[in-house]
Amino acid sequence: MRDTRESRLLLVLLVAIAFALITVDIRGGEDSPVDGARRAAATVFGPVEEGMSSAVDPVGNAIGAVRDSGERHNRIAELERQNAALKAKLGSDDRNRSRVRQLDGMLKTAGAGQYGIKGAEVIGIGAAQGFSWTVTIDAGAKDGIKRDMTVLNSDGLVGRVTTVGPSTATVLLANDPDFTVGTRMEKTDELGFATGQGDRPLSVQLLNGKAKVKKGDRLVTFGSRKDKPFVPGVPVGEVVRVDPSGGDLTRRVYVRPYAGFTRLDIVGVVVEAPREDPRDTVLPKKPAKPKPTPTVTVTATPPGQPPADGAAADEQ
């Protein structure tokens, strides 16, 4: 439409009519004369609006779903994070409880043998220092650690200190092939020398070729001159095999060590030797042998049969 005088007059007239209808509708309230027209317009345009709404709603729902999905993902991720943290805490607590048990057992061992010990944690393993079976501990010269000190844990002999730094030390484990320690048999006092064999039992050469020894017998350290490198009485292990005696001057037995060299964690370095040889007092108590359970045999007598002679005699 071109911008002419007539078109401007028509626009003014339409605006005036619109204002008049709005005024009449407001004043009429629910009885407005244009209410019928409004209902008619709703009847005509309602389905169109509904169609448009149904066309638009899936997009809105999808956006909402994506937003909710993101929120759910965040919640799930948070729960997973909390779960992982809880598991880590539980694992840490389990480890702490295990370490407390190890420390408690080691202190009991040290107390039984009257050893003055310095506790340490294993922080490294391997052949980096030039040995096959070694560990590094987090205690060194500043902690009073010196070369050729005995190392033990709650189970028994672990090894001896070979190299000392300011804050760390290297321990040669008792199962290393270069490791040798003097041993003494429980009760019989038979002496020998135990040598490491890696992941196999220790090889012990008894000085007495006719020594009476059997599976299950236990050994402790014999001790060294001036208690270096070994203090006496530290539990070494238990005999698992005995070679037949062939009339040689010595006899060989094989001993399963008490210490688990592949799972070392808390250890103690003996910085003060006992005043007296503890002998066998540091060895754990042997479990009591189970008492035999008495058995009772009951013989049923079939009906109609006379009782046994003994029973008849008792009745008479």
What HEC string does 55-104 produce?
HHHHHHHHHHHHHHHHHHHHHHHHHHHHHHHHHHHHHHHHHHHHHHHHHH
pLDDT at 307: 57
**Block mean pLDDT (10 aa), the chain, length 316:** 63 64 54 53 42 43 42 60 61 75 89 92 73 87 95 96 95 95 95 95 93 94 94 97 81 95 93 93 80 64 59 45
Q: 287 preceded by cis ω (within 30°)?
A: no
Identify which of 95, 63, 235 has the alpha carbon closest to the alpha carbon of residue 154: 235
Q: pTM score, two decimals?
A: 0.63
What is the gyration radius of the CA atoms in the chain, in angstroms? 46
Q: What pLDDT digit, counting tens, does each position of 74-118 carry? A: 656 666 676 666 566 556 677 778 888 888 889 999 999 999 999
- Cβ pair 187, 280 in contact under 8 A: yes
Residues facing 182 on adjacent strands: 193
Cα 133 to Cα 137: distance, rounded to the nearest angstrom: 13
- In sequence order, the 6+-apart residues with CB closer than 8 A to the CB of 76 are none
Report the candidate in 169, 179, 166 with the shortest Cα–Cα distance to residue 147. 169
Q: What is the dihedral of CA 176, 180, 186, 190, to 10 degrees?
A: 140
Residue type, 100: V
